[in-house]
Structure 1
Amino acid sequence: MAVRRVVPTIRSEAVRESRDFYGLLGLEEVMNHGWIMTLASPSSPAAQLSVMTEDRTAPVAPDMSIEVDDVDAAYAVMRESGAEIVHPLRDEEWGVRRFFVRDPGGRVVNVLGHR
C-alpha cells in the first residue's frame, strides 16, 4: 500500500473567506461540495488543504485525509491492529471509497482511495 497524498482539514464556517485567504499564498480551489472545499498548489498539485464545515456523510469531521492506492488493504491493516474505526469502509457518491480511524493522539483520519 502506498500513500498518494496527505491533506490537513481545517474546520471552519468561513469557507469562502478561507479560499480567498489561502489564495493569497497561491492555493487554488480544485474541489467544492459546499460543505468541503479543497485547495491545491498549481505548481505542486499534491500540496493540498481542505476546509470543511462538517462531514455530511459521517458522524464526525476528520482532522486530515490520507489517500492510499489500496483503501481496502489499509482498512484491513487498521482493523487487524485494533485501531478504533470511527466510520466504516464505504463508497461515497462523489467517487471515493473511505473509512475513518482514530490515531493514538485522538485525531480522526479519513483514509480514502479514488474509485
Structure 2
Amino acid sequence: MAVRRVVPNLQTDAVPESREFYRLLGFEEVMNHGWIVTLASPSAPAAQISVMTSDKTGPVTPDLSIEVDDVDAAYAAIRAGGAEIVHPLQDEEWGVRRFFVRDPGGRVVNVLGHR
C-alpha cells in the first residue's frame, strides 16, 4: 500500500472566507462540494489543504485525510492493528471509498482511495 497524499482538514463556519485567505498564499481551488473545499498549490499539486463545515456522511469531521492506493488493504491493516474505526469503510457518491480511524493521540483520520 502506498500513500498518495496527506491533506489537513480544517473545520470552519467560514468556508468562503477561508478559501479566499488560502488563495492569498497561492493555493487554487481543486474541489468544491459546498461542505468541503480543497485547495492545492499549482506548482506542487500534492500540497493541499481542505476547509469544511462538517463531514457530509461521517459522524465527525476528520482532522486529516490520507489518500492511499489500496483503501481495502489499509482498512484490513488498521482493523488487524486494533485501532478504533470511527466510520466504516464505504463508497461515497462523490467517487471515493473511505473510512475513519482514531489515531493514538485521539485525532480522526479519513483514509480514502479514489474509485
Give the TM-score of the pair, scaled to structure 2. 0.99
Give 1:84's aligned amino acid. Answer: E
* Count of aligned pairs: 115
Q: Could you tell me how far apart the structure 2 residues matched to 1:110 and 1:26 are?
A: 25
TM-score of the pair, normalised by structure 1: 0.99
What corresponds to 2:53 in structure 1? Answer: 53
* Residue segments in structure 1 that go unaligned for 5+ positions in a row: none
Aligned residue in 1 for 2:9: 9
| Matches for 1:1-115 after TM superposition, within 5 Å | 1-115=1-115
Give percent identity, aligned residues only: 81
1:102 and 1:51 map into 2 onto residues whose CA distance is 20
> Helix, strand or coil: the match of 2:80?
helix
| CA distance in structure 2 between the partners assigned to 1:58 and 1:66 by the alignment | 15
Give the C-alpha shift of residue 56 in structure 1: 1.1
Q: CA deviation at 1:73?
A: 0.1
Residue-by-residue CA offset, 1:32-64 (whole Å, 9 max, x unaligned): 100000000011100000001000101111000
Structure 1 residue matching 2:19: 3-state secondary structure: helix
The one-letter amino acid of 1:109's match is V
Gaps of 5+ in 2: none
Superimposed CA distance per residue, residues 61-102 of structure 1 (whole angstroms, 9 cap, x where no aligned partner): 100000000000000000000000000000000000000000
Moved over 4 A (4+): none
Shift in Å, 1:9: 0.4
CA distance in 2, matches of 1:72, 1:101: 13
